[in-house]
Amino acid sequence: MTGTGSAISVRGLTKKFGRQVAVGGLDLEVPQGSVFGFLGPNGSGKTTTIRMLLGLAAPNAGTVELLGERMPRASATVLPRVGALVEGPAFYPFLTGRANLSRLDAADPRSVSPTRRSRVADALDRVGLTHAADKKAHAYSLGMKQRLGLAGALLRPRELLVLDEPSNGLDPQGTREVRSLIRRLADEGATVFVSSHLLSEVEQLCSHVAVMRAGRLVASGSLDELRSSGGRRSVVLSPDAGAAAAVLLSLGLDPRTEGDRVTAELSADAAPEALVESLVTMGVRVRGFEVTTPSLEDRFVELTGEGFDVAG
């Protein structure tokens, strides 16, 4: 359930590397309780933005608020409430997964040592690594290391999780498990901010999205808002495709014909049932009719002009 406030609030965030603007004037609001997808091609500024959110990189301009507090001023009180996985996790290769998490937990001044064992066991269980808990980390696959990084972010209850490509290296089963975990965390009240290049995952998982292009924000809002902003399209299936196109043209539309399929963009006030009535009245045989909205992939290509990995 999306809350009423913002878990992340960014104003005018800018980061330059020499003359190159990696992130320019970014304004972003991430609603509390949302699963927020942060999208963009490689080099669009996603990871740089995440690093600035967490205080790992200093912006040249702009402000960041996490959980209602100004960063980095409030880092000491805010960051313990935030779990993060950025640019792939790093571990001691010759320690087991369990031992790595124990050391990570011990480094937290707020952790309580008598309950450390149960905390570590619970985190391993949540990411499906109990069976490999006592295997050395250097023997972990990329996907297992990614899960171990997620476990590290879950050692304590978190109000906000910032995950950079959490499905990186995971097989389909692992991807489904991470998706289920993120949904469960959101159901428990956490806000999850997910940077991803897998549009199919974002479309199944996220309630809100933002799209970056060349360091600039080109779209932001709920998933439904992003799709609907691309407009609606009527699709007519008819053996009389030419006649159907002529009718749609007479109604002020711009039809395109491909075989027995005729498509046309619809205005916001166009009534689909009126189109069907006009087609039938003019003697056009209608085998099928539907109104479609653009997929997330369609909107991404429109907004960025680039293709994307939609299958993963």
Q: What mean pLDDT is predicted for residues 119-132?
A: 93
Q: 171 pLDDT exceeds 90?
A: no
For residue 293, the SS3 value is coil
What is the rounded CA–CA span in Å between residue 201 and residue 228?
19
Q: 312 pLDDT exceeds 70?
A: no
Q: 85 pLDDT exceeds 50?
A: yes
What is the rounded CA–CA span in Å between residue 253 and residue 135?
63
**Where do the domains of the chain lie?**
6-224, 232-292
Provide the pLDDT confidence category of residue 311 given band limits of 50, 70 and 90. Answer: very low
Q: 1 pLDDT exceeds 50?
A: no
Indicate the pairing of strand 208-213 with strand 232-237.
Answer: unpaired
Q: 88 pLDDT exceeds 80?
A: no
pLDDT tens readout for residues 212-252: 888 999 888 888 777 766 667 889 999 999 999 999 999 88
Provide the pLDDT confidence category of residue 310 given band limits of 50, 70 and 90. Answer: very low
Q: 158 pLDDT exceeds 60?
A: yes
At 230 the pLDDT is: 64
At 238 the pLDDT is: 94
Ramachandran area for residue 17 (φ above 0: left; ψ -120 to 50: alpha; else beta): beta
Share of the chain above pLDDT 90, in %: 55
User: Do the domains spanning 6-224 and 232-292 agree at the CATH topology level?
Assistant: no
The topology (CATH level 3) of 6-224 is Rossmann fold (3.40.50)
Q: What is the CATH number of domain 232-292?
A: 3.30.70.100
Give me the chain's average pLDDT, please. Answer: 87
pTM (predicted TM-score): 0.77
What is the rounded CA–CA span in Å between residue 182 and residue 161?
9
What is the rounded CA–CA span in Å between residue 122 and residue 130?
9
At 270 the pLDDT is: 78
For residue 247 the two structure tokens come to 């009718």
Tell me how far apart the 2 most distant CA atoms of the chain are, in Å.
80
pLDDT tens readout for residues 22-76: 999 999 999 999 999 998 888 889 999 999 999 999 999 999 999 999 998 999 8
**Pick from 279-283, 287-291, 292-296: least confident:** 292-296
Q: 308 pLDDT exceeds 60?
A: no
